[in-house]
Amino acid sequence: MRIDVNQPRPAPAAAASAMSRRVVRVTESAPVRWALTAAALGFTFLFLLLPLASVVVQAFAAGLDTYLSALADPDTLSAIRLTVIVALIAVALNVVFGVAAAWCIARFTFRGRNLLVTLIDVPFSVSPVIAGMVQVLLFGLRGWLGPLLQQHDLRVVFALPGIVLATVFVTLPFVARELIPLMEEQGAEEEEAAISLGASGWQTFLRVTLPNLRWGLLYGVLLCNARAMGEFGAVSVVSGHIRGATNTMPLQVEILFNDYQIEAAFAVASLLALLALVTLGAKLLLEWRHASELAATRRR
């Protein structure tokens, strides 16, 4: 086969030539780039940032005094306390679980490993309302264990244990899902080296594994905590909405909003929004400062 190099080619379009002098790389024309960028910026502002702004504006709509007195309300203070307690318990439990799960999944090869990974993901794909409902079905007055609990005068549903159980359910994957890819990426060589140098299992774990995981663990704790404090659907089903007793902050927001105490609702909401912003900020800082250590978790 012969390719004729002198074959005349179609003349370039006249319109394209004026533009193409400016073209540096293969990309879209400038008007298209500007239009897409403007659309993305507009969308971000209208759809993502405006809701946040409206929380702040409405929280302070009636002035700082109203804002502060809304937060000083005894029911609100009790909701804040309950939220912190629930989050502390749920995060602590999920850290223990996350480390144990990551240790067996990322360090050992065994049959059923993939199934286990899938099971850990289940809470992410189940409606939070179901997470709350299953507690009611188990521990509620007419649930499987309800009569037994009543005999011993124990309360799970409409009390702290139920709220904790529901919160643990929805936040269960967070820590494990950060640690597993991180440990897989780091590999077992350092631990094997420690064992070969005579370290015990615990020594290896505390001196080699844990220090390598610290930023990933912090990252997971951060996300887990944000979700635990902000969870609404699951907690809403098991809490019973008893003011001053079983209301967490998101539930308090709901009650105030439905009572038309708009400023108070947004005042409590502003605290949760602040929590979200702090979480995002800390997450960015971690991703920026410890980018290489966290690369695995963000790549998954």
Partner 1 sequence: MTQAGWISGWRKPSVLPGFGPALGTTLAYLSLFVIIPLGAMVLTTFAHGWADFVGAVLQPRVLAAFRVTLLCAFGAAALCALFGLLLAWVLVRYPFPGHRLVDAAVDLPFALPTAVAGIALTSLYAPNGWIGALLAPLGIQVAFTPLGILVALTFVGLPFVVRTVQPVLQDLEREQEEASAILGATRLQTFTRVIMPALAPALLTGFAMALARGLGEYGSVIFIAGNKPMVSEIVPLLIVIELEQFNYAGAAAIGTLMLAVAFVLLFAINRLQRWTRLQHAD
Partner 2 sequence: MTAEISIRGVTRRFGAQAALDGVDLDVRPGELLALLGPSGSGKTTLLRIIAGLEWPDSGTVMFGGQDAMERHVRERGVGFVFQHYALFRHMTVFENVAFGLRVRPRAQRLPRAEIARRVHTLLNLVQLDWLADRYPNQLSGGQRQRVALARALAIEPRVLLLDEPFGALDAKVRKELRRWLRSLHENVKVTSVFVTHDQEEALELADRVVVMANGRIEQVGTPAEVYCTPASAFVHEFLGDTNRLECRVEGGRALLADGTPIGRAEDIMGSAIAYVRPHDVTLAPAADGPGIIRHVHAVGPLAQLVVELGGVEIDVAIPADSWARLGAGRGDRVAVTVQAGTLFPQRATRGIPMQPLLPASPILSLVRNNTVYSGRPIHHPE
C-alpha span between 80 and 71 (Å, rounded): 9
Collect contacts of 31-40 with beta carbons under 8 A, ≥24 apart.
none
- The distance of closest approach from Cβ of residue 31 to partner 2 in the complex, given in angstroms and rounded to an integer, is 16
79 belongs to the binding site for partner 1 (CB under 8 A):
no
54 belongs to the binding site for partner 2 (CB under 8 A):
no
- The distance of closest approach from Cβ of residue 245 to partner 1 in the complex, given in angstroms and rounded to an integer, is 18
Question: 273 touches which of partner 1, partner 2, none (CB within 5 to 8 A by kind)?
Answer: partner 1
Specify the residue, 7 or 292, whose C-beta has the smaller distance to partner 2. Answer: 7
Question: 43 touches which of partner 2, partner 1, none (CB within 5 to 8 A by kind)?
Answer: partner 1
212 belongs to the binding site for partner 1 (CB under 8 A):
no
| Residues 9-48 interacting with partner 2 (rule: CB under 8 A) | 9-10, 12-13, 16-17, 20-21, 23-26
For partner 1, which stretch binds (CB under 8 A), given 32-40, 67-75, 148-156, 210-218?
Answer: 32-40
142 belongs to the binding site for partner 1 (CB under 8 A):
yes
Q: Could you give the C-alpha distances from 273 to 44, 142, 167, 266, in angstroms and in order?
A: 17, 37, 19, 10
What is the gyration radius of the CA atoms in the chain, in angstroms? 27
Encoding tokens for residue 133? Answer: 């409902």
- The distance of closest approach from Cβ of residue 161 to partner 1 in the complex, given in angstroms and rounded to an integer, is 12
The footprint of partner 2 on this chain (CB under 8 A) covers a number of residues equal to 19
Task: Note whether 161 and 86 are within 8 A (CB).
Answer: no
DSSP 8-state symbol, 85: H
For partner 2, which stretch binds (CB under 8 A), given 6-14, 149-157, 205-213, 221-229?
Answer: 6-14
C-alpha span between 139 and 145 (Å, rounded): 5
Handedness of CA 100, 106, 110, 115 (dihedral sign): positive
User: 265 burial class (0-12, 13-18, 19+ CB within 10 angstroms)?
Assistant: buried
Residues 6+ apart with CB under 8 A from 6: none
43 belongs to the binding site for partner 1 (CB under 8 A):
yes
49 belongs to the binding site for partner 2 (CB under 8 A):
no
Task: Note whether 132 and 163 are within 8 A (CB).
Answer: no
Specify the residue, 60 or 97, whose C-beta has the smaller distance to partner 1. Answer: 97
Task: Note whether 236 and 133 are within 8 A (CB).
Answer: no
Of 77, 122, 206, 285, the one binding partner 1 by CB under 8 A: 122
Binding site for partner 2 (CB under 8 A): 1-7, 9-10, 12-13, 16-17, 20-21, 23-26
